[in-house]
Amino acid sequence: MTRAGWFAPSTRRMLIALLATAAMAGDAQAYVLIRVTATSPPQHWPSAAQPVLMQLNDQIGPALPNVAAGSDPRAAVTRALGKWPAASAFRFAEGSTAVTSAGADGINLISFADTPANRQAFEMAGGNGVVGLTLSFFRAGGEITEADVIFNPALQFSTTVDTDTALRAASQFDVEAVATHELGHVIGLHHSGVESATMWSLTSVLQRQLDSDDIAGARVLYPNDGASGRIAGRVTVNGGSAFGAQVVAVDQRGVVVASALTLPDGTYAIEQLAPSTYDVYVEPLDGPHSSVPNVPCIRVGNLSGGGIYSGATLTTDFPTRFTDNLVVSAGATAALDFALPSGAPPVNPAEIGTATIESGGSLIASIASHPIAVMPGDSLILVVAGTNLDQVTAGDVDLGPDISLDAESFQIVTFSCNSAPLPAFLAGITVAQSAAGGGHSIVLRTGSERVVLTGALRVQTPELPTPTPSVTPTPTVTSTLTATPTRTATRTIGPSSTPGACVGDCDASGDVTVDELVRGVNIALGIAPLSDCPLFDTDHSDDVTVDELVRAVNAALSQC
């Protein structure tokens, strides 16, 4: 059994050990497919097992304790079941079952149920940092025989909220987005290093809609008719094979089309490309996408859960390199090797977000490791944070042909991450009315080098058609497990709106520490008494409000 998804730890199951990282020959295909060894076929459903009957637990509905009022989770799951068949030759069917718990029982289950078995699966995968989980069972040849999708019974799910900001404020997760992501694992896809992809590992309402990278991966496993070409080659660093380097193909409008990770011998292939001209780059998975454990504000260890990349030591000490205007022809392979030196640039963007100007003049920025949704014609304040971002100037930022940056609004600011400074820049950007839909990358120059936040800006377009699946009898069974963490940071920058005493300076030291901010939050939640720090209660209301917490954060950032 494998666990592929949002923060699932590696485990073993009778047939296959998912920690194998044997050296091999052959190409890593576009997107990230799930392979037990480098030479084994990727996990997939055989044609004879399709349509794959996904059976929804018959309790799924608005009455469930982990479903928000007014939501229709069954309809959202049905919509999700239509996404992957609309993009590839894969076929789902929908049914119903009284079974509540995931397990090797021959039933492809979708369940929100709060059962001991489901709770245990989430505890093994990372607890409440995991939103959804897919367990897949498979044969030695990679044929999937069963896949179960479970939603965390300890979290709240909704179908009535349409933005990530509103979902975070309500502490909820979007059913359709989570289901679409998990069903990507069901068909055999791992997490992508493209932020705009549905298979990006951190939850976002944007995952309701498949990205080009998702579609390419699905079509590699389940090809549609139509002319396509491929890019293939090998990546080396100082002459040695680069394992887990990400190779990305971008079209002439700046849209990320597809990606691939190199195999242990450094080979890769990006499949299912429409005949066209592409810019191609190779980058290290040194954040925010990574195979290794989390480092706050730098990387997310989201290639866990099974397969050759899970927990592996990837090659990351090399610079990003571009090759422009590579022609891909139908039925042909465009060969492209990268021979790189060692040494990664010091600049490493990791989190993005937007900012708003409050009435008092403060700038409120919310940043996270998932993409920003923009529409053609939008203007907004973009925030990008990461290692050494204070070395970046306005002229170093390239958002592609469809998105422009206002250099006069550019400024460097400093956030705090785990009490350490986290530099960032912010600037106004405008999306062209004619902007192409899909993921657009943020490219930063640092000296003679460039670094990329791949697919960080997603220009929204109408969704793919979502046909309603029909019900057919159950097929047979194999295994993959997936899970989902989400992490965001909301910080306030700019002048503090608090006159007089320093809000939250509990020990009167002249500054507000992280520990003091935590005490304020605990008081606001009723976990701690106001006597722990009366200085949070500036309006003498005998409680701590959100406004007072924001003012305390302002005080912390401005050092009182």
Phi, psi of 339 (to 5 degrees): -110, 110
Tokens standing for 396?
């170093």
The whole-angstrom separation of Cα 145 and Cα 52 is: 10
CA distances from 270 to 245, 397, 440 (A): 13, 27, 18
SS3 content of the chain, % helix, strand, coil (to 5): 20, 35, 50
CATH assignment, 348-459 = 2.60.40
Residues 57, 114 contacting (CB under 8 angstroms):
no
Residue ranges in the chain modelled with pLDDT below 50 = 1-30, 463-501
Reported pTM:
0.78
What is the reported pLDDT for 76?
Answer: 98
Among candidate residues 168, 256, 148, the one with its CA nearest the CA of residue 482:
148
Structural domain spans, the chain: 2-221+465-486, 229-340, 348-459, 498-557
Closest CA to 556 of 500, 496, 508, 499: 496
> DSSP string spanning 398-457?
E--TTEEE-GGG-EEEEEEETTEEEEEEEEEEEE-TTPPSEEEEEEEEETTEEEEEEEEE
Fold identical between 2-221+465-486 and 229-340? no
Distance CA 492, CA 365 (A): 6
Q: Would you state the pLDDT for residue 97?
A: 98
Where is 489: in which H helix or E strand? strand 488-493
With the C-alpha atoms ordered 503, 508, 514, 515, is the resulting torsion angle positive or negative? negative
In this structure, are residues 516 and 160 in contact, taking their beta carbons and an 8 Å threshold? no
The DSSP bridge pattern shows strands 289-290 and 300-301 to be parallel
Type of residue at 41: P
Tokens coding 402:
């469809």
Architecture of domain 229-340: Sandwich (2.60)
Tokens of 257: 């089309």
The reported pLDDT for the residue numbered 99 is: 98
The backbone region for 477, taken as left when phi is positive above 0, alpha when psi lies in -120 to 50, beta otherwise, is: beta
Encoded amino acid at 266, one letter: G
Residue 29 has a pLDDT of: 43
Task: Tell me the helices (H) and strands (E) count for the chain, helix number first.
Answer: 7, 30
Distance CA 310, CA 244 (A): 10
Q: How far apart are the first and last CA of the chain?
A: 53
Q: What are phi and psi of 423, to 5 degrees?
A: -70, 155
Check if the beta carbon of residue 260 is closer than 8 Å to that of residue 31.
yes
* pLDDT at residue number 413: 87
Q: What pLDDT is attached to residue 421?
A: 85
At residue 319, what are phi and psi to the nearest 5 degrees? -85, 155
Q: So what's the pLDDT on residue 75?
A: 98
- Decide: helix, strand or coil at residue 395: helix
Which residue is associated with the tokens 């549609």?
A: 224
For domain 2-221+465-486, give the fold. Collagenase (Catalytic Domain) (3.40.390)
Count the Cβ atoms, other than its own, within 10 Å of residue 418: 9
Closest by alpha carbon to 330, among 280, 283, 276, 382? 276
Respond yes or no on whether the N-terminal peptide bond of residue 288 is cis (omega within 30° of 0).
yes
Specify the pLDDT at position 292.
59
